[in-house]
Structure 1
């Protein structure tokens, strides 16, 4: 046998041993969660101003004036948070030729005082259109519940793991891996499309809205390894 053949035969077993992963037994995947109903405490609305014209300047000026008016109305209410959103200017085509321009801009309003915001929306509909209104759980409310939900979900996870270990005749377990996930609640649309058209030069009645509740949850997914018997 040539020397290099002998060296290769000696190296191969060592390589195989080095690449071997430690053997694992009695590993179990588990998932648990905790859920709570939380009051939707934040009302959010988006409205937009839109105008069309033969050239871009005229509708742009009209939209700017409408949004400036809406901002002035909203700033009268300390309980309402205001944010301006996207500004769009798009050509309108007819027979592949530009025959006009459509300009629009949106604003976002939110408040913990739904009655104040509902009245303001009714006023703004004199000149703006509503794209959506919805309730959601505020960040403050959500954070307040997440810690308790996490504690509850972890307690359920460990209790279930201990129960499985006992049932299968093992003295205990260890956690191999663990992940914690919390739901990101989406805004709940209460009114969409039912108030799209502006009412001309007069305000409309305030929309009737019910906040309701939303489920918040924290889920735990992990893997445990049972202690040897």
Structure 2
């Protein structure tokens, strides 16, 4: 195996013995992994060095082992963040309505519940701006006081309605409550609305980050450049579903107040302060 690239480092040792052992030991200490013939060369060289007034110690060291200071000093960095928000109109509503009944005969109970849901679906389909899907159906036994004997069965079927036409949905919910119970209503921005507002808020947050970074750099008398950025999206105010309502025999449109949702964008980043 070939020896690593070496270079000779010369040390001036004042008042040190000129013994050849010192030179050999220095070579071993500096480069123990080199071939033994290099050590022999050191011993041979010591014969000439002993006649000089000052001893020269020759040490062989791999270039890779020589530490060189970094050409560029560490660049100072600053961690900072900025936040922006804007309100987005709640232009979409999601409602949950269900039909629930009990009976001792599971087959008749299922026929009764399915009939009520089918009738509700027929009415919902007459509203073109309202989307509907089955949210789930469940049947479970009702036990007696002893907790062992099944006395009856309870069945529940739920529908989920979605619409951006709030007046039409309010009218439909008013009619459905003649047979169905309303378990929840959520108001939120439609996906397109949320995206458009979020893009605007992201621009505001990035500009705020840039202004903050420049302020810090100017205060310290430095220039700056961005090393890393992360952008997070969220809602400042969580959407809360309304409590379950079972107002039956109500044909009047259901009152709906859409309101707004705060869209929040947070920017985290690292900037380097340069000269």
Fold conserved between structures, TM > 0.5: yes
1:102 and 2:166 matched:
no
Distance verdict in 2 for CA 1:173–1:35, change over 3 Å: same
Tell me the residue number matched to 2:268: 221
Is the contact between residue 51 and residue 60 of structure 1 (CA under 8 Å) also seen in structure 2? no
- Secondary structure, counterpart of 1:103 in structure 2: strand
Higher relative contact order (Cα pairs below 8 Å, separated by 6+ residues): 1
What is the deviation of 1:133?
1.6
Tell me the residue number matched to 1:72: 122
What is the deviation of 1:30?
1.0
Name the count of aligned residue pairs: 215
Of the two, which has the highest radius of gyration?
Answer: 2
With normalisation by structure 1, the TM-score equals: 0.82
Q: Distance in 2 between matches of 1:23 and 1:48?
A: 68
CA RMSD, aligned part only? 2.8
Find 2:199's aligned residue among 120, 129, 147: 147
Tell me the residue number matched to 2:212: 160
With normalisation by structure 2, the TM-score equals: 0.69
Q: Distance in 1 between matches of 2:171 and 2:80?
A: 49
What is the deviation of 1:180?
0.7
Is the contact between residue 136 and residue 186 of structure 1 (CA under 8 Å) also seen in structure 2? no
Tell me the residue number matched to 2:136: 86
1:134 and 2:186 matched:
yes
Q: Distance in 2 between matches of 1:198 and 1:37?
A: 32
**1:162-177 pair list within 5 angstroms:** 162-170=214-222, 172-177=223-228
Structure 2, gaps ≥5 residues long:
1-24, 34-60
